[in-house]
Amino acid sequence: MMTPLGTVGWLDLLDIILVAVFLYQFMLLIKGAIAIRLLIGLVGLSCVYFLSHLYGLRTLDWILSGFFNGIILILIVVFQHDIRRALSAMGRSGFFREQADGVSTLVEELVTSAELLSGRKIGALIVLERDVEVENFLEVGTEIDAKVSSEIIMSIFLPYSPIHDGAVIIQNGKLTKAGCFLPLSRNPELSKTLGTRHRAAIGLSEVTDAVVLVVSEETGAISLAHRGRITRGVDQNALRKMLKRLIHLKQKRWFL
């Protein structure tokens, strides 16, 4: 049923809400620096398309019209891996329970790793990627495809390991890289007592939303960096609570 011109019916409101929800979920799906740059580019092209149509630039208008007619297909091709991963995860039975169980297991492995490394005063940097991809901010790095476990993390950071100096990267609950160098923070207000590992942890957390776990080689103290801030001297219980809160927050964002 059509509504009079200038009025908005409940179907129109429902249509707007559904489109808004779709766009929001799509924004979460294509998270990351590359996606953000692509979206900015699309906004720019939309402005050019509007102006070309307004001022009668026929050739440019025709080219951009063809581009936007196929934009859905283009986005599906560009983000096919992200879309496949999301649909595959949502299609699993018991998905929400599996997510919760996976987070708890991951947190316990990280807490155990931190405690073991701290007790032996072995320096470590552990990065947990969240919504913003960390790939563009990493240097060097060795590819790994392994389940997160305290045994593997310990073996990576032992002093005789060839990749013990860098950071390990955890993406989607799996160990994906080791021996990575992170960008150092240039914040002049940081304490002079902070070493290279702590400055690297803060540096990455300033440019991404990653959670970075640090174990000091000198004191064995455990620290956690997020959003450009670092919490030092974290004990086992506090670390567990902080990790659960931050990781669960990421999981909830996908299913609002």
Residue ranges in the chain modelled with pLDDT below 50: 1-3, 5-6, 33, 92-98, 252-256
- How many domains does one find in the chain? 2
CA distance 210 to 131: 8
Q: How far is CA 199 from the centre of its chain?
A: 20
Range of the domain at 231: 97-253
Domain contains 81: yes
| pLDDT score at 86 | 58
| pLDDT score at 169 | 94
Going by C-alpha positions, the residue among 73, 64, 70, 75 that lies closest to residue 35 is 75
Other Cβ atoms closer than 10 A to 79:
19
pLDDT in tens, 107-142: 999 999 999 999 999 999 999 998 888 888 887 788
| pLDDT score at 37 | 65
Rg (CA), the chain: 23
Question: What are phi and psi for residue 135, nearest 5 degrees?
Answer: -55, -45
pLDDT in tens, 87-114: 655 554 444 444 555 678 889 999 999 9
Domain contains 83: yes
Domain contains 2: no
8 A C-beta contact, residue 166 and residue 178: yes
Domain contains 219: yes
CA distance 134 to 208: 7
| pLDDT score at 252 | 44
Domain finish residue from 58, 91, 124: 91
pLDDT in tens, 220-236: 999 999 989 999 999 98
